[in-house]
A and B are shown apart, each in its own frame.
Chain A
C-alpha cells in the first residue's frame, strides 16, 4: 500500500517537473508571463512532492518493510535508528531519490529569490533546473525504483513494482543490513555534503544557460550566483574532505586518498569549480574571461553529472557491466545531450562574448594573467584526472586489455601542477590589476620571502633533506607568510587610522571586504592542508610484523607492545576482535591504541578499524592484520607513522571558517546624507 503511494507521488513529481520544463520553454520563447509563472509554481511544487517521496521511503526504512527490495538491501533489524534513517543514501535507488530531494531544495530556494530585476532569466533557469530534476526522478522511476518489491511466482523470486499475475508477496524476516563500510559518521555525512555540492552547482549553470539564451553577455548572471557558487564549492570541498577522513579512519590502509576512480570522479567537478570560483572575479572586475567562465561552469555541470554517472553506473568495474543496468546508457545519453546543447549555445554567442575594449592583458605579471595561469593549471590537473579515469575504459573497449592507472601516474603528473597552484596562491594577491612589474611584486614580497626562507632553514634543521620536500615546505611557508603579512599590514593600517584595538580592527576589516579576507583565511586553510599532505605523502613510514603478547614492534622512535586481545559478539550483530597495544615514544609511554576487526554476520563482511594516536606532530596508526585463534600465539600488526596529517583536518576547519567569512551576507548599507565639499572619487568596486 505505502510503496504504491510512494511510486504514485514519485510519478507525480516527474510529471510536474516535465510540465515545468515545457511551460518554461514555451513561456520564455513566446514571452508569455502567465506560462512562466505557471512553470515557476510547478518548480515550487516539486519540492513538497519529492519530500513526500523521501518521507515515504524513510517510513519504509524505519519500519523495516523488507518486502521492498531497497529496504532489504540496506537495513536490518539490528541497525540503530540513525543508521536506518541515513540508509536512504546507502544504496543506488535511494541515492537517486536523495539527489532529487537535494536538487529540489535548491530549486525551491532559487525560486523564492527576488526575480523582478531578472525576469528574462527566469524561464530558462526553471527549464534547466527542471530538466535536471526530471532526469534524476525519471531514473529513480524507470531505471532503479526504490519501491520495487519482491514477489514469489512459481518457484522463482521476481522483483517488480506491482504484483505480477499469480504471485505472492515475499516477506523476508530480516534485511541484509547496510554495508559495514558505510556505518561510520564520515560516511553518513559524506554523501549529503557531496551531493549538496553537486546539485548546488546546477544553479550557476542554469543562470549561465539563461544568460546565453537571452544574450545577456554581461556579468549579471555571475553576480546573482556568486553566493550559490560559494556555497556549492564549500559543500563539495567538505564532501571531499569527509570522504578522505572516512577512508583514513575506516579503510585501514594508512592513507586518505588512493586515486581511486570514484574519488577522482568527485574531484573533477571540484577542479573546474575552483577554477570557476576564481575566474569569475576577473569578469566582475575587468570584463575579461567571459568565455572562460562559461566554459568552466559548463564543464563543472557536465562533470557533476559525469561523476555521478561514473560512481553509480558500474562502468568503472567493467565497461561491459555498464550495460547491465539501464542507468548507464541513460546517464551517457543525458550527459551527451546537455553537453552538446550547452556547447551549441556557447558557440552561438561566442562572438558576443568578446571582452571589453579597454581591457587588454599585456602584463605577464598582472593579476589577470595570474588568474589565467590559475585556470590553466587547474585545467591541466583536470586533463590528467580525466584521461587517467577514462583511459582504462578506452583501453578495455579498444584492445580488450584492462589496465590500472594508479597513484604513481597521478602523483607524478599532478604534483608539480599543485605546486604551481600553491605558488600562485601566494603571489597572485600581491599583483596589481592591469599592470605589475617584477619591481612592484618584489617590493610587496621581499619581507614574507625572508620569513619563508626561515621556514626552509627550519625544515632543513629538522632533518628534511629531500629537495622536493624542502621546496614544498618552502612554498607553504611562503604562501602563509604572504597571506598573514597582507592581513597584518591591513589590520595595522586600520588600527592606525581608526584607533580601534587590534582584534576589533581585525573583525571590522574582514567585514569591510569579506571576499578578500575570507579568501585569505581559506588560503591559509589550504596551506595547512598542504602541510598535512606533504607530511603524510612524503614522510610516511610503515612496518609490519607478527608478535606474541608481551612482545614489541618498533617504527622510528615509536614502540608498540602487544598487551591484550579480546573477541566478542555485540548486540548489533557483529563480532569484534580487539587488540590492546601500549605505545611509547623514545622510551616514554604515551598511551594505548585499540585496533580491531569487526565482522558483520548479516553481510559476511569484515572491517578493519585502525587504532590511532593523533597529535599535531604525527599520527601513529596501527592495523590489526591477523591473529591466531589462541591469542597467545600472537597477532600481526601493521604500523604507519604519518607525520603532520592532523593539519589536513585542521586546515579543513580553517577553510570552513574562511568560507563563512567570505559568504556571510553584507548588511544592507544605510542611506547617509553626504554633503560633498571637495571632489572625491569614490570607487564602487565591490
Chain B
C-alpha cells in the first residue's frame, strides 16, 4: 500500500467513525401525541435523559420525588406537542449537558468519540505491519526454538502416537 495513501485513508476512516457515532445519537422522530399522554411516551423520552441531581441514574428509573416531578413536566410538554428533541434540548439548557445520555457532538466532547477509535485504528495498523513484515530475527542469543505442537488436524498422528505409547505401558 502506498505510504501517502495512509493519511487520507485514516482521515476517511475517522470521518466514518464520526458519522457512525453521530448516527447513534440521531433520534427517530416522535409522532405528535394526542392527549392524554401515556406513561410509555413519557418513559420513551425520560429513558434518554439522566436525573439532573442524582449520580448517573436515568430519568425513567429514578425513584425520587424530584424525578417524578420532572417526568410530569415531560408529560405536560408532550401534551403541548413538543418533540423528544425539543424536550431534551429544554432539559439540557435548564440543567446542563449532563442530563443527556451522550455528550453533545461539539468542542472538547469530540475527544471521547475520536480517541478510542483512533487508538483502535492505530493498534490495527501496528498489527497489520507486524503480520506483513514478520518478525526480524534478532542478533541476541537465540532461545531454544519452541517446538510447534501438533495441530488438531493431526489427529491421525496423535492417535497413532497414543496407540504406540499404550503398547509400551
Chain A interface (Cβ < 8 Å from any Cβ of B):
218, 251-253, 258, 260-261, 285-288, 316-317, 351-352, 354-362, 364, 369, 372-373, 376, 379-380, 383-384, 386-388, 391-392, 394-395, 398-399, 401-409, 412-413, 417, 429-430, 432-434, 440, 443-444, 486, 489-490, 493, 497-498, 542-546, 606, 608, 636, 638, 672, 674-676, 680, 682-685
B25 touches A497 (CB 8 A): no
In the assembled complex, 8 residue pairs joining A and B whose CB atoms fall closer than 8 Å, in A order, are A352-B140, A357-B145, A372-B131, A379-B123, A404-B50, A406-B101, A409-B24, A672-B169
B103 touches A261 (CB 8 A): no
Per a CB cutoff under 8 Å, which of B60, B63, B107, B153 touches A444? B153
| A287 and B147 alpha carbons, distance in the complex (Å) | 10
A262 and chain B: residue at smallest CB distance:
B56
| A379 and B153 alpha carbons, distance in the complex (Å) | 31
Q: Do A675 and B168 contact each other (CB < 8 Å), given the known contacts A364-B131, A372-B130? A: yes
B150 touches A683 (CB 8 A): yes
Q: Which of B122-144 contact A (CB under 8 A)?
A: 123-124, 127, 130-131, 134-135, 137-138, 140, 142-144
Cβ–Cβ < 8 Å partners of B115 in chain A: 383, 387
Per a CB cutoff under 8 Å, which of A317, A391, A412 touches B103? A391
B134 touches A362 (CB 8 A): yes
A626 and chain B: residue at smallest CB distance:
B68
A683 touches B127 (CB 8 A): no
A434 and chain B: residue at smallest CB distance:
B148
B165 touches A682 (CB 8 A): yes
B39 touches A636 (CB 8 A): yes
Cβ–Cβ < 8 Å partners of B168 in chain A: 674-676
Smallest beta-carbon distance B64→chain A, Å? 9
Nearest 10 Cβ contacts at the A-B interface: A406-B101, A544-B39, A253-B61, A685-B149, A380-B120, A412-B24, A391-B112, A402-B98, A432-B151, A403-B103
Per a CB cutoff under 8 Å, which of B39, B116, B159 touches A497? B159
Smallest beta-carbon distance A18→chain B, Å? 36
A352 and chain B: residue at smallest CB distance:
B140
Per a CB cutoff under 8 Å, which of A356, A372, A383, A608 touches B143? A356
A380 touches B119 (CB 8 A): yes
Q: Do A360 and B151 contact each other (CB < 8 Å), given the known contacts A383-B119, A406-B102? A: no
| Interface 1/0 per residue, B78-118 and A, CB below 8 Å | 00000000000000000011111111100111011101110
| A398 and B119 alpha carbons, distance in the complex (Å) | 22
Select the residue from A252, A359, A386, A434 with max chain B CB neighbours within 10 A: A359
A261 touches B56 (CB 8 A): yes
B123 touches A606 (CB 8 A): no
Cβ–Cβ < 8 Å partners of A251 in chain B: 61
Smallest beta-carbon distance A186→chain B, Å? 18
Q: Which of B35-66 contact A (CB under 8 A)?
A: 38-40, 43, 50, 55-56, 58, 60-61, 63
B145 touches A356 (CB 8 A): yes
Per a CB cutoff under 8 Å, which of B58, B103, B166 touches A405? B103
User: Is B9 at the interface (CB under 8 A from chain A)?
Assistant: no
A436 and chain B: residue at smallest CB distance:
B151
A435 and chain B: residue at smallest CB distance:
B148
Q: How many residues of B contact A (CB 8 A)?
A: 67
| A8 and B139 alpha carbons, distance in the complex (Å) | 57
Per a CB cutoff under 8 Å, which of B43, B108, B151 touches A544? B43
Smallest beta-carbon distance B18→chain A, Å? 12
B130 and chain A: residue at smallest CB distance:
A361
Cβ–Cβ < 8 Å partners of B165 in chain A: 680, 682
Per a CB cutoff under 8 Å, which of A395, A486, A546 touches B108? A395
B39 and chain A: residue at smallest CB distance:
A544
| A490 and B137 alpha carbons, distance in the complex (Å) | 37
A383 touches B96 (CB 8 A): no
Per a CB cutoff under 8 Å, which of B38, B120, B144 touches A545? B38
A287 touches B162 (CB 8 A): no
A606 touches B63 (CB 8 A): yes
| A429 and B151 alpha carbons, distance in the complex (Å) | 10
| A444 and B151 alpha carbons, distance in the complex (Å) | 11
Cβ–Cβ < 8 Å partners of A409 in chain B: 21, 24, 102-103, 112-113
B24 touches A384 (CB 8 A): no
Q: Do A399 and B107 contact each other (CB < 8 Å), given the known contacts A285-B146, A357-B138, A545-B39? A: yes
Smallest beta-carbon distance B122→chain A, Å? 10
Cβ–Cβ < 8 Å partners of B151 in chain A: 432-433
Cβ–Cβ < 8 Å partners of B146 in chain A: 285-287, 356, 358-359
Cβ–Cβ < 8 Å partners of B152 in chain A: 429-430, 432, 444, 486, 490
A385 and chain B: residue at smallest CB distance:
B116
| A545 and B43 alpha carbons, distance in the complex (Å) | 11
Q: Do A355 and B101 contact each other (CB < 8 Å), given the known contacts A387-B112, A682-B165? A: no
Per a CB cutoff under 8 Å, which of B43, B103, B138 touches A542? B43
A408 touches B24 (CB 8 A): yes
B99 touches A404 (CB 8 A): yes
A395 touches B24 (CB 8 A): no
Cβ–Cβ < 8 Å partners of A413 in chain B: 21, 116-117
Cβ–Cβ < 8 Å partners of A386 in chain B: 116
Cβ–Cβ < 8 Å partners of B25 in chain A: 408
A218 touches B143 (CB 8 A): yes
| A490 and B155 alpha carbons, distance in the complex (Å) | 8
Q: Do A387 and B116 contact each other (CB < 8 Å), given the known contacts A401-B97, A409-B24? A: yes
